[in-house]
C-alpha cells in the first residue's frame, strides 16, 4: 500500500534528480514491481510526477521517473513574482532574495557589504565599476537617487554616468522624485538633456541591470542593518527583471513633469 511516508520518500528522491524505477526500488528497499506500482499511483494523483520509457516495448527498455516541473509551472512562478513586485511600493515590501532563491546556482552570487569583493569584475559597493561594464544599456532601480552623488575610491559616480551617456549607452532610471531627491535628479537632467531618461515611480527594488548580462539587486534587512548584494546572470531571470523594469516604466512620470509640479509647491 502506498503510504504518505513512502510517497514523500519517492518525491524526495526525484527532487534531487530523475531516477530509474530500479534505482528507486533499491533506494527504498522494495521490488521493481512495487516501485513501479507506486510511481503509477503518484502519476495518477496530481500530475506532479511524470515517466518516460527509453526504448519502449523493447528488451532492455529503461523507465525513468521525474518531477513534472513544466513550462506552465515556470510561467505561474513568473506571474506570481511579477504581481508581488509590481504590487509593492516600498523596499521593505519585497526582498530580492525571493527572486535569487530560484536562480541556477552556477549563475548567481551574493555577498555582504564590506566583505571580500569582486566577481564579474566589480566589487561590493563599486557602482562606478558596474556602470563602466555597460556597453548598450544601463537600467537603474533607485530609491531617492542618492547614489548618484556618491564617490567611490575618489571617483564621482556622476562623472561615469556622463561618460556613458556620451558614448551612447542608453541610461534609464526609475526612482522616487520628491523634495529630498530634487537636487540629485536636477543634476542628472542638466548633464545630458534628453539623453538620460529619469522617471518617477515608487517601486521596491534597488539595483541595476547591465545590458542583457547581469542584474545586481541590493537590500538592507532591518534586523541586520547591513547591505546584501545579489548578482544574477541566468538569462531567463535577467530577462524577467528587465520586463519588470519596463512595466514600471510604463506607469512612471517623466522627471521634468514631476519637477514642474513639485516646484509649484515649494
Note the pLDDT of residue 87: 96
82, part of any domain: no
In a shared domain, residues 102 and 36: no
In a shared domain, residues 128 and 228: yes
130, part of any domain: yes
Note the pLDDT of residue 120: 34
pLDDT higher than threshold 50 for residue 117: no
**What's the pLDDT band for 116 if we cut at 50, 70, 90?**
very low
| Torsion angles phi and psi, residue 8, rounded to 5 | -65, -40
13 near 27, Cβ under 8 Å? yes
Pairing of strands 228-232, 207-210: unpaired
pLDDT higher than threshold 80 for residue 73: no
Name the domain boundary from 13, 32, 67: 67
Average pLDDT in the chain? 83
- The CATH number of the domain where 154 resides is what? 3.30.870.10
Residue ranges making up the domain that contains 149 = 91-263
In a shared domain, residues 57 and 157: no
The 10 Å CB-count burial string (b at 16+, else e) for 60-98 is eeebbbebeeeeeeeeeebeebeeebeeeeebeebbbee
73, part of any domain: no
pTM here is 0.69
Note the pLDDT of residue 122: 37
- Structural domains of the chain, count: 2
pLDDT higher than threshold 50 for residue 154: no
User: What is the Cα–Cα distance from 148 to 130, expressed in whole angstroms?
Assistant: 13
243, part of any domain: yes
235, part of any domain: yes
List the beta strands (DSSP E) in the chain: 19-20, 49-54, 62-67, 108-112, 137-141, 151-152, 155-156, 170-175, 196-200, 207-210, 214-219, 228-232, 253-254
142, part of any domain: yes
140 near 173, Cβ under 8 Å? yes
The CA-based dihedral angle spanning residues 19, 25, 29, 32, taken in that order and rounded to the nearest 10 degrees: -170
Q: What is the DSSP letter of 119?
A: B
Name the domain boundary from 17, 35, 67: 67
Give the percent of the chain with pLDDT over 70. 83
Give the percent of the chain with pLDDT over 90. 39
75, part of any domain: no
Amino acid at each position: 500500500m502506498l503510504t504518505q511516508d513512502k510517497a514523500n520518500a519517492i518525491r524526495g528522491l526525484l527532487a534531487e534528480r530523475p531516477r530509474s524505477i530500479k534505482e528507486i526500488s533499491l533506494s527504498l528497499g522494495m521490488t521493481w514491481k512495487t516501485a513501479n506500482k507506486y510511481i503509477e499511483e503518484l502519476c495518477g494523483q496530481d500530475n506532479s510526477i511524470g515517466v518516460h520509457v527509453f526504448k519502449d516495448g523493447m528488451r532492455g527498455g529503461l523507465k525513468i521517473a521525474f518531477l513534472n516541473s513544466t513550462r506552465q509551472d515556470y510561467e505561474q512562478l513568473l506571474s506570481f513574482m511579477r504581481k508581488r513586485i509590481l504590487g509593492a511600493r516600498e523596499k521593505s515590501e519585497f526582498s530580492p532574495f525571493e527572486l535569487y532563491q530560484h536562480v541556477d546556482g552556477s549563475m548567481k552570487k551574493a555577498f555582504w557589504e564590506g566583505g571580500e569583493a569582486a566577481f564579474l569584475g566589480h566589487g561590493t559597493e563599486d557602482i562606478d565599476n558596474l556602470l563602466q561594464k555597460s556597453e548598450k544599456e544601463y537600467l537603474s532601480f533607485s530609491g531617492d537617487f542618492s547614489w548618484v552623488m556618491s564617490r567611490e575610491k575618489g571617483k564621482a559616480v556622476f562623472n561615469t554616468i556622463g561618460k556613458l551617456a556620451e558614448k551612447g549607452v542608453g541610461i534609464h532610471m526609475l526612482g522616487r522624485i520628491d523634495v529630498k531627491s530634487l537636487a540629485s535628479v536636477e543634476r542628472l537632467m542638466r548633464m545630458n538633456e534628453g539623453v538620460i531618461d529619469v522617471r518617477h515611480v515608487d517601486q521596491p527594488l534597488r539595483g541595476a541591470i547591465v545590458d542583457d548580462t547581469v542584474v545586481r539587486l541590493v537590500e538592507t534587512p532591518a534586523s541586520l542593518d547591513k547591505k546584501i548584494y545579489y548578482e544574477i546572470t541566468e538569462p531567463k531571470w535577467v530577462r524577467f527583471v528587465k520586463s519588470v523594469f519596463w512595466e514600471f516604466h510604463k506607469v512612471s512620470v517623466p522627471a521634468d513633469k514631476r519637477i514642474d509640479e513639485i516646484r509649484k509647491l515649494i
